[in-house]
Structure formats: structure tokens, C-alpha cells
Structure 1
Amino acid sequence: MIKVKILLILVLGILLRVDAQNIDGVCSNANIFGDPIENNEFEYIKYQPVLKLTERYSFFNQVKNNTPEELMISQMSVLDNKWLSYNFDDDLEWASEQFERIKTQDRDKNYLELLRKATYTFKNEKYSIIRVNVFDERKKTPIVVSLMSKYKNNRWVLVRNKSKSSIEFFLTNLGLDYLDALFENKNSDNTKFNQFIKSSWVGNEFRLSEAYSKLGNSMFDNDVSLKTIYERNNPTVIVSKDFQKHSPNFSFKKIKIKTDYLIPLFNQKYCTYFINDLSEFKEEGIKKLIGHIKAINLSSEDEKTEIIPIHKFEYSKKEKKIIFIKCLKKIIPNNQEYLTNVFELVDGNLNIYNELDNSDNLIKELISISKQEIITEFSNGEDNPNHPEINKLKPLVKDANGILNIEKLAQVLKENKSALSKYLDQ
């Protein structure tokens, strides 16, 4: 799984280099930047005993969603698209047959078991990921899933993620005993897995990204010695008497885990452009950006001035697309200077973005001072012999999955200006 992604990125990188002279630039949707969760820790929660949800709400006005657990009950109770959309805080539609089935299903045969939960705070937003056994009378065995939610507008809402996080990977795939052993730093009945646990902890810190990368690769390699640790190969059996019903004071055990967990910024896109007289910059939205930059930075006296994009980074943030772009202001015949602008794109409208948080300010600085190759090479999974200065510093700024820590990268560039001078526009 992990190896396939790396191989694909490398192959695409080679192909893009071959074609580079025939196009205006290269864009990648790979995750480059990430931010750490608040306080570099998450909470691991064990429902003791397992929380069995058979309850249903009969009417929408009963819904509060004050906790992730209440949200689970609400989602099992949805009777129309308004209710469904409320649970996701998004406009969604299901077929009427789905609501009819929910209304008529046998609650003793269709219910949820809540087993484990991880919670953390990221960019001042609370997140919850719950491991759930979904019992559906149409299935012979329960379906194991991890459901993510976040606290938004004074209630918990479900999150639809295209890609699963490392925490979700562990919650979904490991058997319960092995999941507990990993997060609680204790031995299991699998010797190979115990070695893996030992290597994943340094003192009281859990190296989450490294553990995710290693276990993902072992799953890809179909390591027989670890076969029993996965839920799909060794399903967890819950003894029927070991349940509790939902109540405001349900029982659980909670531990705090220090970690290096980086969360990639959402919907990232990084583009580099080739500066030449033949460039037409046909990439979607780039001409509109150049037009705005001209309107902001040029006067009527600048008729002989060109705006040429160098590189651009964008990501999604609270229904907005945030765009950082560095351009060359080329004043004919001989003068030039660099410009860096930050825009927000909302419902097709492009405006200057002024609500920059700490991470945004650091990204703006990185885009502003960096030449194209520095970000590309720092995020590259393989060391490039042509850039030994960057290869030496890579371990200081990225996790085991190749995500760059924004704060650490900014600090490393600041502390190594001399060594990296050829990669910086100072």
C-alpha cells in the first residue's frame, strides 16, 4: 500500500521531467505540508464495557448531537435528507428506500457496538474517531469501520474523508487486543508485533507516523508472522453479557498519548511553472490569478511589465480554497522583483486573504523565500544526489510518511540560510 504510493510518485516524477519542456508547469496533489495536533497528543478511550447502541430517535427535534455517541444514534435514526444533511453538515441525498428500511428494521438485529475511540484537537477543532462494529441482519458477520466526526457549530457532525488517517488505519485494521497493546505500549501474544511495538515507542512518545509506515508496508508484503494481529483474519468476539447501554454517564477508560502525529492540510495542490516566453499558463485558474495580481501590483504606467508565476500552493480550509502564489514581476527591459500573494477562493470569487493563522504565515514565508526545487526536494521520498544539503536536513522536517512539518521546515530554513542559500531568494 505505502510502497505502491511511493513507486507511483517516483514514476510520475520521471514522466513529468521528460515532458517538462513541452508544458507550462507541473502540478501535484500529493500531501506536502502537515500540522501537528494540539499539544502533540491524542486521547485513547476504551468503552468499558462495550457501548451497545440500539436506541433510535423517533423525531428530528430529539436530536442534539452533543457527543459523538449521540451523533451515532442520530445517524442510525435518520428518516429524511434534511436529517441526514444535518448529521453531516452538508447537502446529501439518499433514496427513499433507505429511509424506509431504517424506519422498519429490527433494532435487535441492526445496531452498533462502540469499542474504542481516539480524540484530538487540530487547528482549534475537536475530532473524534470511533471504532464501530456495525450489525446488519443482511450480513453474516459485523462490519468493522472507523467513523470520524468533528465538533462544529456547537454540535458533532460526521466527516467524509477520501483518504484515511493513520489513526483510522490502526482503529479499523487491528484486533482489539493488539490495538490496545500498541497504544498502551504493552506486550501482546505475538512476538513479531511486540518488536514492532517496542520500536514504535521512544520513551513516553508514540512514533505514530513511523508505526503507520512500517505496518502498512508489512501488510503490503503479506507478512505471515503478523497475520493474526489483523481484525479481518482474527475477528474480535464480544461476550454477550459485556455491554452497557448509552447514558449520559457511560463508563470508559481514557489515556493520553504523546505522539508526532501530523495531519496533512486538506486538498493540497502544489504547482511549479517554467519561465519562458512561450508559456500560455493554461492550468485552471492561473490566468485569473495573474489578472488579480496585475490589478493589485501594477499601475497604468506599468504597460511593459509582465507577471510570470513561479510556484503556487493551495489547500482547503473551512469551505475556502487558500492560494499562495509567488510570481516574478518582470519590468522590461532589465529590472525584476518577486511578489507573493495570498488569495481565498469562495464560490468562484477570488479575493485577497487576510485571515492568516500561524501556519498560513509560515507557508507564505516558505513560498516567498523558496526557489521551486527546495519544496519539491524536501518532500521527495528519495534522496537526490544533486541536492546533498537538502538530503542532510530532511529527517529534521518530515515524518515517516513524507509529510513536511510546516513549523519545523520554516525553522530549519531559518537556521540553515548559508547552507541552503542557492535554494533561497533572499
Structure 2
Amino acid sequence: MTEPEAVGLSSERLERIVPWMQRYVETGQLAGLSVLVSRRGRIAFRRAHGLADLARGTPMADDTIVRIYSMTKPLTSTAILMLYEEGLFQLDDPITRHLPEFRDMRVFTGGSRGKWESVPAERDITFRDLLTHTSGLTYGFMDSTLVDGMYRDGGVDFQTAETSLADVVARAARMPLLAQPGAEWNYSIATDVLGRLVEVIAGQPFDDFLRERIIRPLGMVDTDFHVPADRLGRFASNYVRGADGRLTLIDDAVDGRYARPRGVPSGGGGLVSTAADYARFCRFILGRGELDGVRLLGRKTVELMTSNHLRGDLADMGQPRFSESSYSGIGFGLGFSVMLDPAKAQILGTPGEVAWGGAASTAFWIDPAEDLFVILLTQLMPSSALPLRRELRVLTYAALTE
């Protein structure tokens, strides 16, 4: 910790975050939340407010463990790029070299769930397509297309399946694509497929690779695909707002799905973590692939990872139906969003800033130009329920003094 003024931030303005946090808890919109702001390698603001578990009265704390869902994606992207640096594939290689089940894919063009029409995919899906969510894959939970429905009917759900990563990926390969590979940006199970590619290429279970090659080397001591019994007391419950507007439990901290090892380690959304742990990952990205003398990626790889790989912003790439980001002024790199134009995005920020969030309203962003990162943790689904991320951006950037 350091005084905010020592790193070019205003204490008075950062303190505006406190009543903002209190308002969401006291009005019953959130059970609890925590915020961490770091600049120039020092933590300038760190507060927790409210409860991690309403029924048990467990306070939200600095070391509360939460479901980070899609904030898992940047770690999975890091894993596949570590193998890329070992010369084991190129970004424009077809994934069929390692996952032959994705050969001869079809692209949905119309019809009904029972009798759908399609055309052949013009080319195979590449590693880059998966990293940038331009593969043509989708998510079943979005329930906005017939293909989404096919995913649900076919058991393509990496959060609930208890078979294996290989099995769920194989089910996905039997479904039609939503668009031609490379043509549109569609948020999807692409990062889960990357997790399967990690284990095929590395010859090691994906969750073991992530623990041994990334989580432990970075010192992320509370990050895993489940919560051990001796840490369940620090785990937050997950909520949704009911029809009456009150918080309703959807996954209990002690008796829920994360209290035991998961059958399928989801590279797209399976991890739990803490603010301290995820701060170490943010420092690793700000350190351009290195943290405390441990280098996992080369500097040029991180530069490529944090560059926009789309032809314009997300709004230029078809009609995105869902993501953990707005569309205008925001591009996408190899694993997270990239700020292109704050004016177009209509939010405070810096070109080159990278970010993403999770389904339970968690979020992070890393601003290399300002040597800044911010982490927001809470447990409310869906992430679109409240404008937490945009409000916290304004509160944080308004505190910059130099």
C-alpha cells in the first residue's frame, strides 16, 4: 500500500469510491463488493464492503474468494501463447491439425432446430480465430439463435458438464458454426477450445498445465477450479436479482458447485480467485510477461497479445449479441478487449488499455500508459444487471492528478 498522492492519484477523489460501494450494498443491489486500484507498482486504494454471504453474515474482505468466470480467459490465452512461443504452432495454423473433429465444419444459414440448413465453412478455424472470438462458435446460454439452442440440447456447457474437456469440445464440433471463420466477432466457447488445445499440444491435462505453468509461478495462491474445504469460509455466495428486485441465491459458498473438483476445467470461465491473486496477473501483464523475476511470456508476445486484431472495433465485426464489453471504440486482442477510442466508446480510458470481466459482474482493466490497473470483485449475475464497470472507470480515472 502507498499514499495515493505518491503515485499521482488524489486521496480525496479515490474516497468517492467508498460511498459508491456503500450505496449498492445499502440499497440491496449487491451483497458485497471489493475494489483494488494500483498505480506505478503500488496499491493506492483497497476496500471491501458488505457481505460475501448473506445467510451466514460473512463479511466481504480483501481475501474473499469469488467466481471470476470469464476473467479466466486471459490466463488460458496466456497458456496457449506460452506454447506458441515454444514453436509448436503458428497463429494462422488450422486447429484441425490438433483437433481433427473440427474438419469439414458447416455454417448455419437457416431452418429450424430439427431441420437446419447450412453451407460448408470456407476454411478451417485457426488459433487466431479462437483467441479473438472470430471462430464462428457461440455460447448456448445466450439463447438468441437456433445454434445457441443446439448447444444447450447437445450438452455443450463447460460450466455444468462432468464428463471431460475432450468430450464437450467434441460435442461442440458436431454443431454448425454461427458464421464463417474470421468473418464476425461472436463471444463464444472459443477459449474453452483453447484449453483443450493446451492439453493436446502439451500432452498434459489443461488444469494441471495452468496450475504448474502459470498459477503457481505467479504466486496466485487462491486461484483454482474449485475451493478446498479449508478455504470455503472465505468463498462468496453467488446471487441474482429476483422478480421482486431482491437478491436470490443461485450458488452457495459452502454447498455449491465449487466446493468439489470440477469434472471439466473451463478455460473460458472456470476459475475462482481473489483480488490479491488477480493483481499478480495484472502486474504480470504490465510487466510485459514478467513478474518478480519470473518470465512466462516474451515482451513482444505481450505486445501482440494487447494489440487490436480486428478490422476496426467490435461494432464493425457483424452484430455482437453479448460480451463483457461495450462495442463501439473497443477492439479485441489475443485474450481480452483493447481500448481503441475512448471518445467513441463514450467512457474515460486510454488507447491501448486492455480489459475484460466475468458473468458475476467482476471486472479488471490494465492501462499501460498510466501504469495502472483496477480490479472489481462482486457476485451478481448477470454482469449486465448494473453499470458497475463504467461507473468505477469514471471514479478511478477522475482521481488521476499526474
- For the aligned pair, the TM-score class normalised by the smaller chain equals under 0.3
TM-score (norm 2): 0.26
| Greater RCO structure (CA 8 Å; 6+ sep) | 2
Larger Rg, first or second structure (1 or 2): 1
TM-score (norm 1): 0.25
